[in-house]
Amino acid sequence: MRAPTLRIFSRFALRFFSLFTPCVFSVFALCGLLLPLQEAAAQDAAPAAETAPETAPRQNQAQAPNIVIIFADDMGYGDIGPYGHPTISTPHLDRMAQEGTRFTQFYVGASVCTPSRAALLTGRLPVRSGMSHDRRRVLFPNSGGGLPHSEITIAEELKEQGYATAAIGKWHLGHLPEYLPSQHGFDYYFGIPYSNDMDNVSGRSNREIAFEAKPEYWNVPILRNDEVVERPADQHTITKRYAEEAVGFIREHRDEPFFVYLAHSMPHIPLFVSDDFDGRSRAGRYGDVIEEIDWSVGRVLDTIRELDLEERTFVFFTSDNGPWLIYDTHGGTAGLLREGKGSTWEGGMRVPAIAWYPGTVTPNNATAALGTTMDLFSTALSLAGVPLPDDRVIDGVNLMPLLSGERESVRDEVFYHRGTRLYAVRKGPWKAHFITQSAYGGEDPVTHDVPELYHLDHDPSERFDVAAENPEVVAEIRNLADAHARTIEPVANQLELVLEE
Ligand code: MG
């Protein structure tokens, strides 16, 4: 083949691939996952090919960046490679941490699912939205409440700016039609609307069946948008399907800004993995589950890279609360932190957190600066160029000045609520516990006249109470707690509403 002919051929081949590859990928992503393969093949791809632009990336450089939040369920502080787990292999999260910034002191808004999710999506402590309760700590299938419509979610704000918005995975902010993701700013939803251990129809307790789990023991539904499409959910493939749904949505909306909230149902018990991950890790079933979540992170990041969107996409990985320690090896580990899910000790509320946005977020960086999931609300709005709502208290702060290296810290305080009550306050390295209680086991809360005080930089495991030696710190944090309490207004509680049987 002579040179000019070769050039023409190459140009033709390039053009051919640039026209058809995205189309073929999109068709497979959108249809192939949802329909049998034959049906996907029967789709008429021609119109899409004609309208597909020739070069990638196709997003306008002036356009606001894409935002992806990946939220694990009950993953502990010590459960992944970047946080030191010795036998769970997480190469994709390792790479994400190398290419981004990893927090060593990042917190959730509550140490159980429902209030934690409300905090992330609204940027507000759940006690402000009525999404926390002292006894019914999360929503259940017989709950009548949900995230109130007076609350503003990240999705609502971004949708208004022209973002395509998807919630994929666990919702747990109300399963009744009026509370589903479609009513809170999401264009698309696919997932189990509450915890994967609910709707237990086995006749035995979760504790009894968790270690020999079969999907049919839990009659949990999968919804696509507002419709039930599967029940009971085949939980073996749930992590894989969530990842593919996220990838499909990203491919479908590659030309416009998108917001994807990918909230995995795992590693909340009962633990399930696909065949590909069954027995793969050195850390038993729990390790298998974490490694499949790690794979899902790789799927999402690889897709973003492949679409040439990595410098236009902010991705944040974190967990909704600490590990569920009462489930032995099926619960994770908070590493050196005390206690786990359900408590206001560090292990309940400090979680792994990695920010990735090549070219903007500082790479290969670990920061001991404080951050919270509520900050993702303020960060997302800032990235999209939207001002914060000014008619309510927002508990989040914008993380971008910290993540881009402009500032060394963006917050100095963390408030730890359990249910509707303030249990502890962190100010700088100091944490005062006004009330303590173990995560599970039914012990009553203990109120301390003189709070227990820990210096978390010196003592991250909260072992040595130094209140007696530091009365001025105790006094300062007490004033802070009192001032904080004055910002909380009474609100209708959503978690105490129970449907008639
Ligand atoms: Mg959880």
Q: What percent of the chain has pLDDT over 90?
A: 86
DSSP H helical segments within 91-187, as ranges?
Answer: 91-99, 113-122, 126-129, 154-160
- pLDDT for 49 equals 39
CA-CA distances (angstroms) from residue 153 to 142, 157, 167? Answer: 24, 7, 12
Q: How confident is the model at residue 58 (pLDDT cuts 50, 70, 90)?
A: low
14-18, 95-99, 180-184, 396-400: lowest mean pLDDT where? Answer: 14-18
Give me ligand 1 centre to Cα 230, in Å: 23
| Identical topology for domains 66-411 and 414-485 | no
Cis omega (within 30 of 0) on the bond before 53? Answer: no
Give me ligand 1 centre to Cα 476, in Å: 32
Give me ligand 1 centre to Cα 342, in Å: 9
Tokens of 205: 């307790």
Give me ligand 1 centre to Cα 461, in Å: 21
Q: How confident is the model at residue 61 (pLDDT cuts 50, 70, 90)?
A: low
- The domain locations on the chain are 13-42, 66-411, 414-485
- pLDDT for 30 equals 37
Whether pLDDT at 156 is above 50: yes
Give me ligand 1 centre to Cα 321, in Å: 5
Which member of 23, 113, 264, 433 is catalytic? 113
- For 190-203, the pLDDT digits (tens) are 999 999 999 999 99
**Contact (CB, 8 A) for 263 and 226:** no
Q: Which of 122, 130, 179 is nearest to 153 (CA)?
A: 122
Give me ligand 1 centre to Cα 73, in Å: 4
> Which residues, 6 or more positions from 192, have their beta carbon under 8 angstroms from its beta carbon?
169, 170, 171, 220, 221, 222, 223, 233, 238, 265
Q: How confident is the model at residue 321 (pLDDT cuts 50, 70, 90)?
A: very high
Whether pLDDT at 53 is above 60: no
Give me ligand 1 centre to Cα 160, in Å: 29
Give me ligand 1 centre to Cα 170, in Å: 10
Chain centre to alpha carbon of residue 160: 22
Average pLDDT estimate for 131-142? 96
Give me ligand 1 centre to Cα 335, in Å: 17
- For 38-51, the pLDDT digits (tens) are 333 333 333 343 44
CA distance 122 to 51: 37
Q: How confident is the model at residue 443 (pLDDT cuts 50, 70, 90)?
A: confident
Cis omega (within 30 of 0) on the bond before 36? Answer: no
51-60, 213-222, 338-347: lowest mean pLDDT where? Answer: 51-60
Chain centre to alpha carbon of residue 213: 24
Q: What is the CATH number of domain 414-485?
A: 3.30.1120.10
Average pLDDT estimate for 347-376? 98
- pLDDT for 80 equals 98
Tokens of 119: 């905090």
Q: How confident is the model at residue 128 (pLDDT cuts 50, 70, 90)?
A: very high
Which member of 92, 133, 172, 268 is catalytic? 172
Tokens of 328: 């032995």
Catalytic residue check, 113: yes
Give me ligand 1 centre to Cα 26, in Å: 33
Catalytic residue check, 455: no
CA-CA distances (angstroms) from residue 416 to 125, 325, 348, 372, 376? Answer: 9, 19, 10, 11, 17
**Contact (CB, 8 A) for 300 and 70:** yes
Cβ atoms < 10 Å from Cβ of 270: 23
Whether pLDDT at 354 is above 90: yes
Q: How confident is the model at residue 418 (pLDDT cuts 50, 70, 90)?
A: very high
User: Which class is domain 66-411?
Assistant: alpha beta
Q: How confident is the model at residue 396 (pLDDT cuts 50, 70, 90)?
A: very high
**Contact (CB, 8 A) for 306 and 272:** no
Q: Counting Cβ atoms within 10 Å, is residue 203 exposed (0-12), middle (13-18) or buried (19+)?
A: exposed
Order of strands, sheet of 421-427, starting from the edge strand that comes earlier in the sequence: 413-418, 421-427, 430-436, 446-455
Give me ligand 1 centre to Cα 138, in Å: 10
Give me ligand 1 centre to Cα 486, in Å: 29
Element (H, E) at 239: helix 238-252
Give me ligand 1 centre to Cα 343, in Å: 12
Single-letter residue type at 394: I
Q: How confident is the model at residue 1 (pLDDT cuts 50, 70, 90)?
A: very low
For 210, half-sphere exposure in the C-beta direction (CA atoms, 13 angstrom radius) is: 20
- pLDDT for 47 equals 38
- pLDDT for 479 equals 98
Beta strands in 320-387 (DSSP E): 353-356, 365-372
CA distance 2 to 11: 14
Gyration radius from the chain CA atoms: 23
39-53, 277-291, 322-336, 345-359: lowest mean pLDDT where? Answer: 39-53
